[in-house]
Amino acid sequence: MKFRKTNISDVILCEPHIISDERGYFFESFKKEAFEKFIGSSVNFCQDNEAKSTKGVLRGLHYQLPPFAQAKLVRVISGKVLDIAVDIRKGSATFGQHVSVELSGENKRQLFVPVGFAHGYVVLSDEAIFSYKVDNYYHKESERGIIFNDPELQIDWKLLLKELIISEKDKIQSTFNKADLFEINFK
């Protein structure tokens, strides 16, 4: 597995070494020791989640507040999505900036979204199966969100507004300026 820092260095792109032949393929999708060595800290994923969605479904931008904040390792099993991670850590040099990466069943890339980031994705293929690990359990009272089309964030979701399928909850999320964000002490 190769690890690469993105334009926001705490968000990590993971690219597996794929072994293919006439029978199919094999790759290691997660190796704790190598992953932790690269990020320089330990991570204890406690749950795997999976979602199936059709083209245009946009989920996000979601996060949980401390002490229930979550780091995520996301990937696409089949189909293609545009995955977004927004830095919501006040005081960060990249506060308000985002990472945008295409993840697909073909490229088998994964994205590590650390604590302190809002996360979302939109399905670009006819359908997609999205899978992710989290290091903390869902906690409804700590759940927060930012509206997907906040003009301050300038996220290009690659689809027209009329093509998007968005839950009622995600249509009324807070703007970035009014959201409960992370207070992190950066040295």
- Catalytic (active-site) positions: 62, 132
- Residue 126 falls in which region: left (phi positive, over 0), alpha (psi -120 to 50) or beta: alpha
Q: CB-based burial of residue 146 (10 Å sphere; 0-12 exposed, 13-18 middle, 19+ buried)? A: buried
Q: How far apart are CA 49 and CA 52, in angstroms?
A: 11
Q: What are phi and psi of 3, to 5 degrees?
A: -115, 135
Are the CB atoms for 149 and 87 separated by under 8 Å?
no
Q: How far apart are CA 51 and CA 61, in angstroms?
A: 15
* DSSP annotation string for 96-108: T-EEEEEEETTT-
